[in-house]
């Protein structure tokens, strides 16, 4: 039984690499829905449908624990999957998201003002504001959408990405912490850090591996079901030369395959 990682595209490979570096003995299955990228500009109904189909497929591929690395999918689909789908269709499977662990890190150190940069769908859901203010109701949370940032990163256009970040950062200059609320954003975290040297930049590739390790320690009933053969499987819903090039940039020595099942 594998640890599954799902993302709307290839950005989640950064999170997967962090998992493998921290917990190399486990078996991993990565699925990226590159056919429908980006999720951030889709309707909630489409995001839920795409995510649910992906989770069903990953369960059929023997994933026992699935991490939805996509912030947009987490914000729109996770609650439905946990509360409505899993209890009926797959009660032995656990599906987790990235929002709550990220909010916990951002809200520590007595932060008073927290910024969130994310996709349009994530920002409109206000999931980060909701989770942050559960931790501290007095937190001031500012959420700004960056709809052009994921396409720039996926197209390997980092000059454009840097310009987008440059346009965004003045709004966050007075924040204590800034959440990079998309799994693609670790690839431009240095831009944010260079332009906001006094702000704590919270990048999910730097925190999710420790959170997963801690979760497995606290849930031996799940950890004991996972196999430890060190296998790695990486699939996408649409494979082309561009996707292969992006994957190689994000994860060295990767063999990417196209899924024919969904």
CA atoms of 8 and 6, how far apart (whole Å): 7
Q: What does the pLDDT read at residue 223?
A: 97
**Annotated catalytic residue: which of 22, 108, 175, 182?**
182
Q: How many CB atoms lie within 10 A of CB 229?
A: 9
Q: To the nearest 10°, report the CA torsion of 31, 210, 199, 39.
A: 20
The pLDDT of residue 190: 97
How is the beta sheet containing 2-7 ordered, strand by strand?
94-96, 63-68, 2-7, 28-32, 232-236, 256-258
86 contacts: CB under 8 Å, gap ≥ 6: 93, 94, 95
Q: Six-digit token pair at 97?
A: 């998201």
* Residue tagged active-site, from 22, 61, 63, 70: 70
Cα-Cα-Cα-Cα dihedral sign, residues 193, 101, 259, 44: negative
Q: What is the pLDDT of residue 165?
A: 98
Put simply, whether the predicted model's pTM sits higher than 0.85 gets the answer: yes
Contact call for residues 101 and 77 (beta carbons, < 8 A): no
pLDDT in tens, the chain (262 residues): 999 999 998 889 999 999 999 999 999 999 999 999 889 889 999 999 999 999 999 999 999 999 999 999 999 999 999 999 999 999 999 999 999 999 999 998 889 999 999 999 999 999 999 999 999 999 999 999 999 998 898 888 999 999 999 999 999 999 999 999 998 899 999 999 999 999 999 999 999 999 999 999 999 999 999 999 999 999 999 998 878 887 887 777 788 999 976 6
Residue 261, pLDDT score = 65
Do residues 65 and 19 make contact, with C-beta atoms less than 8 angstroms apart? no
What's the start-to-end Cα distance of the chain, in Å? 20
Q: Which domains does the chain have, with CATH numbers?
A: 2-97+207-258 (3.40.50.1860), 99-204 (3.40.50.1860)
Known catalytic residue: 108?
Answer: no
Is 22 catalytic? The answer is: no
Residue 244 half-sphere exposure toward CB, CA atoms < 13 A: 7
Could you give the CA distance from residue 94 to residue 92 in angstroms, rounded to a whole number?
Answer: 7
């Amino acid at each position: 039984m594998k640890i599954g990682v799902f993302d709307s595209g290839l950005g989640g490979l950064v999170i997967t690499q962090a998992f493998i570096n921290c917990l190399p003995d486990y078996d991993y299955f990565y699925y990226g829905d590159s056919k429908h990228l980006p999720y951030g500009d889709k309707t909630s109904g489409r995001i839920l449908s795409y995510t649910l189909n992906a989770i069903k497929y990953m369960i059929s591929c023997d994933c026992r624990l699935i991490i939805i690395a996509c912030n947009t999918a987490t914000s729109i689909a996770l609650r439905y999957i946990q509360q409505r789908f899993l209890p009926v269709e797959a009660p032995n499977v656990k599906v987790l998201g990235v929002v709550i662990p990220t909010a916990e890190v951002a809200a520590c150190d007595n932060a008073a003002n927290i910024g969130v940069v994310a996709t349009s769908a994530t920002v409109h859901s206000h999931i980060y504001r909701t989770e942050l203010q559960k931790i501290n109701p007095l937190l001031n949370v500012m959420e700004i959408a960056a709809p052009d940032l994921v396409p720039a990163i996926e197209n390997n256009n980092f000059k454009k990405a840097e310009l987008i970040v440059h346009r965004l950062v003045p709004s966050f200059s007075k924040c204590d912490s800034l959440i990079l609320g998309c799994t693609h954003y670790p690839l431009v975290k240095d831009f944010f850090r260079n332009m906001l040297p006094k702000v704590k930049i919270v990048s999910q590739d730097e925190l999710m591996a420790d959170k997963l390790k801690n979760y497995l320690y606290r849930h031996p009933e799940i950890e004991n079901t996972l196999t430890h053969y060190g296998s790695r499987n990486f699939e996408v819903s649409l494979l082309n030369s561009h996707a292969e090039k992006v994957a190689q940039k994000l994860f060295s020595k990767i063999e990417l395959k196209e899924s024919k099942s969904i």
